[in-house]
Amino acid sequence: MGEAETDSGFGQAVRRWRDRVAPEDAGLSDGGHRRAPGLRREELAMLAGISVDYVTRLEQGRAANPSTQVVEALARALRLAGPEREHLFRLAGLAPPGSGTVPTYITPSVQRMLDRLAGTPVAVYDASLTLLTANPPYAALMGDPSGWRGNRRNSVWRHFLGPGTRARHTPESLRLFETALVADLRSAVGRYPADQRLRRLVAELRADSDRFGELWDSGAVGHHEAARKTIDHPQVGAVTLDCDVLTVATSDLRVMIYTAEPGTEDAERLALLMVLGTQTLVG
């Protein structure tokens, strides 16, 4: 198969599967009358975290060699089952990620769970703590991650080398948090020895962050636990929420869920920022 045929087949498959996804199944409004079934290009682009122009060029066969990250993001946004996902990788001229690499596939059952939590801030991370997807309430709470690329999507990199998050820390909670981050990354390296992206991430962190290097070299051991976190939101102020991290054993995903105790001021602030976030996203 030549490159032109590969590109054309890839684009045709993306278009066919885009037409198959109902907007409401992806957590989107149907937007009234539609000329065609399924997702619009701009909706697919938003869900996958890539530009509308790039989706257009891919579908029209004018963009060659999409990266593994782009194909994975499109497979998630299109809600492809396992064999379909593998087929999309092969159409792109790529081998589907193997058992020695960090899984980034959000299974249909996990996606259905996310759909049912549409009013709750939820994000899904892979075993290296790289953000795979975040729903609009999470974006409203923690900041919109749709423009993040590469290592900017990794929680460990963002903490030690990037801008951090809106979450407050005491000296003790910061120590425990950093220890857990490093321990999780070390564990991921052990489980996925063939993942070169993960090894490059660790090398960059060790080279550029003295604190990460200190914890890594010390063999720090820890793990993430359910906790109450205070988020400093730029519009509604401090919001204290319960943060639970659920691990999906079969796919090694981390599902992070933020909830407020009913009837509290924090619940009212969370409800308010959901409205503010929705208005911002719609506007």
Q: Taking the domains of the chain in order of start, what are their residue ranges?
A: 3-91, 108-170+222-282
Nearest alpha-carbon partner for 257 in 270, 276, 238 = 270
Note the pLDDT of residue 264.
Answer: 95
Note the pLDDT of residue 281.
Answer: 46
Note the pLDDT of residue 283.
Answer: 37
From residue 53, give the alpha-carbon distance in Å to each of 44, 102, 283.
Answer: 11, 29, 20
The structural architecture, per CATH, of the domain 108-170+222-282 is: 2-Layer Sandwich (3.30)
pLDDT per position as a tens digit, 200-222: 999 999 999 999 999 999 987 76
Half-sphere exposure of 16 (CA within 13 A, CB side): 9
Phi, psi of 6 (to 5 degrees): -60, -50
Note the pLDDT of residue 216.
Answer: 95
User: What is the C-alpha to C-alpha distance for residues 91 and 58, in angstroms, rounded to an integer?
Assistant: 12
User: What is the C-alpha to C-alpha distance for residues 100 and 151, in angstroms, rounded to an integer?
Assistant: 20
Note the pLDDT of residue 32.
Answer: 61
User: What is the C-alpha to C-alpha distance for residues 95 and 231, in angstroms, rounded to an integer?
Assistant: 40
Note the pLDDT of residue 185.
Answer: 94
Sheet of 237-248, strands arranged across: 131-134, 122-125, 253-259, 237-248, 227-233
Note the pLDDT of residue 282.
Answer: 42
Task: Report pTM.
Answer: 0.74
Q: Please, which residues bridge with residue 242 across strands?
A: 228, 259
Note the pLDDT of residue 219.
Answer: 83
pLDDT per position as a tens digit, 27-83: 776 666 677 778 989 999 988 888 899 999 999 988 888 988 899 889 988 988 888
Q: Return the SS3 of 117.
A: coil
175: buried, middle or exposed (CB in 10 Å: 19+, 13-18, 0-12)?
Answer: middle
Note the pLDDT of residue 128.
Answer: 95
Nearest alpha-carbon partner for 253 in 140, 74, 132 = 132
Q: Please, which residues bridge with residue 255 across strands?
A: 124, 246
- pLDDT beneath 70, residues of the chain: 1-8, 29-33, 99, 222-226, 278-283
- In the chain the first and final C-alpha atoms are separated, in Å, by 44
User: What is the C-alpha to C-alpha distance for residues 230 and 209, in angstroms, rounded to an integer?
Assistant: 25
Q: Which two tokens stand for residue 214?
A: 């200190």
3-91 matches 108-170+222-282 in fold? no
| Cβ pair 241, 166 in contact under 8 A | no
User: What is the C-alpha to C-alpha distance for residues 112 and 87, in angstroms, rounded to an integer?
Assistant: 22
Q: What letters, b where the CB count within 10 A reaches 16 and e where it falls short, cover 213-235?
A: eebbeeebebebeeeebbbebee
- CATH 3.30.160.270 holds for 3-91: no
Note the pLDDT of residue 28.
Answer: 74
Residues in CB range of 77: below 8 A, 6 or more apart: 21, 26, 39, 44, 47, 48
